[in-house]
């Protein structure tokens, strides 16, 4: 599936105008992991490039709180109040619940009272899929401001006794604001693909409707990530190359035009091999997986934010974001960067936004309290407080106010007779 530059109706372009990240404090080094599973810093570094990862150890730090923090940072750089957001797309492989969507919880946390919200499940390709959705919403005139978030707490679904997977993943979130503009550029083209025959290659088997949670599924570790690493590796190198070629082609660009590739940060060897096949030199590829490991949907927006912080992106640069993941899925986007990356926020703007977030928190608390009160006033059989009071203390029941069925029928007949006359 694709949406190309040439398909933009009404001259509406989709630009990334805000970016941000949220990273948990706790760092877990390879040496620390070597104390809990049979591995070594040397093995992890040479096979993956990862040196450490960040883990959300505080139970109050969740996929939604990390996502909300990254979203606020993105809204800050975009200088956009959350009330102006039309849609929140949260790409995640570790949602807080099967439902409601983590995006809805983020909507509440940031007070985006005018936004729709949904989760996008395309594993590590999810963030780039989200960019494709944002571009479509903007091009069709359905939205002006879309928050695209990648947020994960994979540490909670990883088997910490399985060295094949636990050394790879990390927690974190990244977000962008995609905004409608009449200025040509922005997200030029996208590619979103899938090969479901590889669904079992990278999977969290239990907890869904096919294998609901039972004592057995828990005891046999079916609620943890299972992966055939070699199969993913082979698939990844092929699709990263193909997807990059496709988006460049659709955007009318050549490999030589690319200023920076921001690939999914899974494995240094996968990135190096696919970029070599494309003929792209190392200096045109952004990598930060050594610090964070594979943060799935969050890896590309975190990398984008850091690339900007390190002055690797300037207006008119041609950027490719490309990823792959469970599904098996892949996705790419070619972007012409459209906005300055240096941002200055005044004290007044920061205070205004802080006040708006505090107000949103108070509003949410009030709504929760009133909902709790409302349901405490209605009993399990659906009787309202007035009905229960009447039952307990006597007095006229509400149904006594209504005319009996025959009287009601007579009244209706009388009225229809009057109308005919």
Phi, psi of 126 (to 5 degrees): -60, -40
User: Out of 30, 54, 104, 264, which one is annotated catalytic?
Assistant: 264
Report which residue's Cβ sits closest to ligand UT7. 229
Does the annotation count 104 as an active-site position? no
294 or 305: CB nearest ligand UT7:
294
- Residue 240 beta carbon to ligand UT7: minimum distance, rounded to whole angstroms: 11
Closest CA to 1 of 134, 187, 132, 192: 192
- Residue 43, both tokens: 């093995």
Q: Helix, strand or coil for residue 266?
A: coil
User: Out of 104, 124, 166, 291, which one is annotated catalytic?
Assistant: 124
- Residue 338 beta carbon to ligand UT7: minimum distance, rounded to whole angstroms: 29
236 or 248: CB nearest ligand UT7:
236
Distance in angstroms (rounded) separating the CA atoms of residues 86 and 64: 18
The set of residues, in sequence order, having a beta carbon less than 8 Å from that of 239 and lying 6+ positions away, is 193, 324, 328, 330
* Burial readout 327-340 (b: 16 or more C-beta within 10 A, e: otherwise): bbbbbbbbbbbbbe
Does the annotation count 124 as an active-site position? yes
- Residue 152 beta carbon to ligand UT7: minimum distance, rounded to whole angstroms: 11
Q: Helix, strand or coil for residue 338?
A: coil
Does the annotation count 194 as an active-site position? no
The set of residues, in sequence order, having a beta carbon less than 8 Å from that of 33 and lying 6+ positions away, is 39, 44, 166, 167
20 or 325: CB nearest ligand UT7:
325
Residues that bind ligand UT7 (CB under 6 A): 39, 43, 47-48, 124, 163-164, 167, 227, 229-230, 232-233, 236, 266-267, 294, 296, 325
266 or 313: CB nearest ligand UT7:
266
- Residue 43 beta carbon to ligand UT7: minimum distance, rounded to whole angstroms: 4
- Residue 197, both tokens: 């025959």
110 or 266: CB nearest ligand UT7:
266
Look up tokens 């997977």; give the residue: 165
Q: Which residue intervals of 215-346 are DSSP H helices?
A: 215-219, 229-250, 268-278, 289-292, 299-309
The angle, 0 to 180 degrees and rounded to 10, between the axes of the packed helices 63-78 and 347-376 is 140
43 or 357: CB nearest ligand UT7:
43
Distance in angstroms (rounded) separating the CA atoms of residues 35 and 275: 34
- Residue 36 beta carbon to ligand UT7: minimum distance, rounded to whole angstroms: 11
- Residue 123 beta carbon to ligand UT7: minimum distance, rounded to whole angstroms: 7
Q: Which residues are catalytic?
A: 124, 264, 294
């Amino acid at each position: 599936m694709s949406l190309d530059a040439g398909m933009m109706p009404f001259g509406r372009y989709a630009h990334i105008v805000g970016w941000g990240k949220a990273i948990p404090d706790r760092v877990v080094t390879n040496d620390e992991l070597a104390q809990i599973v049979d591995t070594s810093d040397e093995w992890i570094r040479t096979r993956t490039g990862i040196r450490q990862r960040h883990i959300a150890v505080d139970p109050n730090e969740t996929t939604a709180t990390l996502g909300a923090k990254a979203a606020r940072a993105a809204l800050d750089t975009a200088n956009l109040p959350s009330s102006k957001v039309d849609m929140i797309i949260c790409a995640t492989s570790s949602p807080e619940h099967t439902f409601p969507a983590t995006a809805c919880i983020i909507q509440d946390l940031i007070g985006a009272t005018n936004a729709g919200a949904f989760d996008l499940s395309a594993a590590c390709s999810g963030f780039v899929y989200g960019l494709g959705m944002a571009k479509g919403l903007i091009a069709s005139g359905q939205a002006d401001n879309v928050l695209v978030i990648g947020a994960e707490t994979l540490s909670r679904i990883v088997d910490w006794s399985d060295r094949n997977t636990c050394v790879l993943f990390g927690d974190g979130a990244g977000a962008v604001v995609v905004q409608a503009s009449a200025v040509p550029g922005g997200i030029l083209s996208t590619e979103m693909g899938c090969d479901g025959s590889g669904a079992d290659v990278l999977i969290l088997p239990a907890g869904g409707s096919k294998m609901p949670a039972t004592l057995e599924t828990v005891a046999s570790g079916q609620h943890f990530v299972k992966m055939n690493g070699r199969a993913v590796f082979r698939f990844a190198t092929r699709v990263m190359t193909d997807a990059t070629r496709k988006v460049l082609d659709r955007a009318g660009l050549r490999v030589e035009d690319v200023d920076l590739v921001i690939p999914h940060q899974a494995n240094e060897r996968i990135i190096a091999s696919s970029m070599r096949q494309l003929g792209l030199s190392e200096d045109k590829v952004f990598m930060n997986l050594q610090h964070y490991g594979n943060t799935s949907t969050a890896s590309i927006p975190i990398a984008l934010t850091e690339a900007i912080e390190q002055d690797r992106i300037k207006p008119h640069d041609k950027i490719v974001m490309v990823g792959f993941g469970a599904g098996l899925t892949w996705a790419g986007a070619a972007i012409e960067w459209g906005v300055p990356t240096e941002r200055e926020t005044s004290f007044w703007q920061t205070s205004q936004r802080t006040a708006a977030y505090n107000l949103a928190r108070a509003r949410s608390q009030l709504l929760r309290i009133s909902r709790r009160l409302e349901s405490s006033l209605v009993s399990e059989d659906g009787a309202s407080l007035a009905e229960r009071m009447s039952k307990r203390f006597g007095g006229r029941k509400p149904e006594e106010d209504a005319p009996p069925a025959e009287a009601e029928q007579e009244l209706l007949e009388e009225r229809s007779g009057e109308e005919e006359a």
